[in-house]
Amino acid sequence: MTDPLLDRTRAVIERIAGRDRTPASCGADTPLGDGQWLDSVELVEVMVACETEFGVMFDETGELAAGAFDTLGTLTRMIRAKLDTRTSS
Amino acid sequence: MTEQVPVERLPDEGRPFGGPQRLGWLLPLLGRVSRPTSGNLLAALTIAQGLTSRYRWGVARTWSAAHTRSRWDRYRLTFALFANHGRFLADEIRFWRDEAEGLTRDVTIEGREHLDALQGGAILLGLHIGPPVTGRTLAALGYPVRTAGRLGDAYDAGGKTATPRERADGLQQARVLIRNGTWLYMAADGRGREAFRIAVPGREAIIRAGWLALRRVTGAPVLPVVCRRDGVRRIITVHAPLHAVSPDRAEDESRCRAVLSALLNDYADRFPEQCRYVLVSWRRDRRAAQTRRPLSP
């Protein structure tokens, strides 16, 4: 079963990193910031692009270091949680 | 002016000592002697290091050959480069703990009007040329400056290299600071991913991508800031802001490169003995290039 939000997140990342640097078979468990896919600058650019794409804000308390950007799946979960919070409030 | 935003500390500011970590042991010793004496002590050390290191001797001689004509001048510039490197290190170590009075003594600022015209957050872009601690000096003078110096290096404890996530976290903190009105001082030629190189006779300079990314994502003005030593005085020159961010990334970088290239080449022509970036090793870059390979499709 596909997850549309995960696909959109992957599309955002692919736009930043480029198609040739995006794994062909990437899924929820694909690591983002282990130095193979995205570097530090690209991680920040992905963060900003996600803010624009999904209308969410990443807070200032170290979400990057805390694990939200570990894998494509964790990032998607973070975005979903932010979208849910926005909808419920 | 006072600092506007007490956001959490940048990685650099959490360290017990902000200079080169392997020289931290000199801190108590240099604190007991005068500034000229500490500078001369470190100058003697770095001259000795230059004479015994094939790498340092080689880069310094290549640099000197590109900036002088006579054989005697080449030797003079080589030794001046080593000696200034030591003096700058001594300043970096001493000023780490100095109060505002020590930091601001014998300092002149040129281009102050560019700082006075700023509204909101900005990036003050330094280079590894001339005396260090420019950002902290500006902060001590009352400007709302924070030093981002070694984003990610704070995570390098025990020789461990910062991960991309940790470095990105540093950039994110910097982004928040700028968004909240802080003037962030950072080096264009520090560490991290290479953006482009600037051709300078004797040794090219590697310009990193971090400040360019921050510039793009914040839209903040970027003011190049350089410092030089003139006797005991430190002269900080603030240049006019770079152009506003252009949507065409390649063109944008090209224009930034042109401005920085003119600025750095002018400095190298006038003060070749103060270009400390010349002595910096790029071994770390070569290691990074080896570990980060393109993914297979």
Beta carbons of B172 and A39 less than 8 Å apart: no
Write down the pLDDT at residue B294. Answer: 43
pLDDT for position B154 = 42
Better-predicted residue by pLDDT, B35 or B11:
B35
Q: Is B172 on the interface with A (CB under 8 A)?
A: yes
B interface test, pick of A25, A32, A44 with most B CB neighbours within 10 Å? A44
A51-65, B157-171, B243-257 — which is least confidently predicted?
A: B157-171
- Between strands B122-126 and B183-187, the pairing is parallel
In this prediction, residue B115 carries a pLDDT of 97
Closest approach of A14 to chain B, Cα-based (Å): 13
User: Which chain A positions have a beta carbon within 8 Å of B196's beta carbon?
Assistant: none
- d(CA B124, CA B242) in angstroms, rounded, equals 11
Cα distances (angstroms) measured from residue B46 to each of B39, B80, B88, B241, B284: 10, 10, 11, 35, 21
Contact at 8 Å (CB) between B137 and B285? no
The pLDDT of residue B36 is 84
Give me the pLDDT at residue B99, please.
60
Residues of A in contact with B178 (CB under 8 A): none
What is the ipTM score, two decimals?
Answer: 0.81
Structure tokens at B198: 């600037």
pLDDT score recorded for residue B3:
36
Give which of B169, B177, B180, B214 to mutate to test A binding, by max A Cβ within 10 Å.
B169
> Judging by beta carbons within 10 Å of its beta carbon (0-12, 13-18, 19+), is residue A23 exposed, middle or buried?
middle
Tell me which of B280 and A14 has the higher pLDDT: A14
Mean pLDDT for chain A overall? 84
Q: How far is CA B283 from CA A89, B81, B288, in A?
A: 51, 20, 9
pLDDT over 90 (residue B269): yes
Q: Taken in order B161, A39, A25, A82, is the CA torsion positive or negative?
A: positive
Phi, psi of B249 (to 5 degrees): -60, -40
Helix (H) or strand (E) holding B139: helix B134-140
Chain A contact set for B174 (CB, 8 A): none
B-chain residues near A44 (CB < 8 A): 168, 171-172, 175, 213-214, 217
0.80 surpassed by pTM? yes
Give the pLDDT score at B24: 67
Question: How many angstroms separate the CA of residue B70 from the nearest CA in chain A?
Answer: 44
Question: What is the distance, to the nearest Å, from the Cα of residue B176 to the centroid of all Cα atoms in its chain?
Answer: 21
Q: Residue B85 — very low, low, confident or very high, per pLDDT cuts 50/70/90?
A: very high
Q: Is the pLDDT of residue B31 over 50?
A: yes
Q: Which residue has the higher pLDDT, B157 or B15?
A: B15
**Choice between B122 and B6, residue whose per-residue pLDDT is larger:** B122
H runs (alpha helix) in chain A: 4-17, 40-54, 63-66, 72-88
Q: In this predicted structure, what is the pLDDT of residue A19?
A: 82
Give the containing element (helix H, strand E) for B277: none
User: For residue B297, what pLDDT is reported?
Assistant: 34
Provide the Cα torsion B159, B165, B170, B176; round to 10°: -170
Domain ranges of chain A: 4-88
Burial pattern B190-227, b for ≥16 Cβ within 10 A else e, equals bbbbebbebebebbebbbbbbbbbbbbbbebbbbbbbb
pLDDT score for A24: 77
CA atoms of B137 and B139, how far apart (whole Å): 5
Check residue B131 and give its pLDDT: 93
Residues in chain B closer than 8 A to A38 (CB atoms): 164
Mean pLDDT within A37-47 = 87
Q: What's the pLDDT at B153?
A: 46
Cβ-proximal residues to B268 (8 Å cutoff; 6+ apart), any chain: B67, B129, B200, B201, B202, B275
Calpha distance B76→A86 (Å, rounded): 66
- Evaluate if residue A54 carries a pLDDT over 60: yes
Give residue B288's pLDDT.
Answer: 55
The average pLDDT across B264-285 equals 88
* Predicted confidence (pLDDT) per residue in B59-79, tens digit: 999 999 999 989 999 999 999
Q: Is the pLDDT of residue B241 over 70?
A: yes
CB-nearest to B217 from A38, A39, A48 is: A48
Is A44 in contact with B168 (Cβ distance < 8 A)? yes
Domain spanning A4-88, CATH architecture:
Orthogonal Bundle (1.10)
Give the confidence band of A6 by pLDDT, cuts at 50, 70, 90: very high
Q: Does B28 touch chain A (CB under 8 A)?
A: no
Q: Which of the 8 DSSP states describes residue B239?
A: P
Give the residue, B147 or B113, on which the prediction is more confident: B113
Query: B193 touching A, CB under 8 A?
Result: yes
pLDDT tops 60 at residue B40? yes
Q: What percent of chain B shows pLDDT beyond 90?
A: 56
A2's tokens: 């596909």
- To probe the interface with B, which of A16, A19, A39, A41 has the most B CB atoms within 10 Å? A41
CA–CA distance, A24 with A43 (Å, rounded to integer): 19
Q: HEC profile for B42-102?
A: HHHHHHHHHHHCHHHHHHHHHHHHHHCCCHHHHHHHHHHHHHHHHHHHHHHHHHCCCCHHH
Q: Which residues of A touch B170 (CB under 8 A)?
A: 40
Mean pLDDT across B232-253: 95
For chain A, say whether B167 makes contact (Cβ under 8 Å).
Answer: yes
> Mean pLDDT of all residues in chain B?
83
- CB contacts of A36 in chain B (<8 Å) are 292-293, 295
- For A35, the closest of B164, B173, B176 (CB atoms) is B164
Residue B184's φ and ψ, nearest 5 degrees, are -95, 120
**What pLDDT was estimated at residue B286?**
58
Average pLDDT over residues B148-157: 48
Would you place residue B296 in the very low, low, confident or very high pLDDT band (cuts 50, 70, 90)?
A: very low
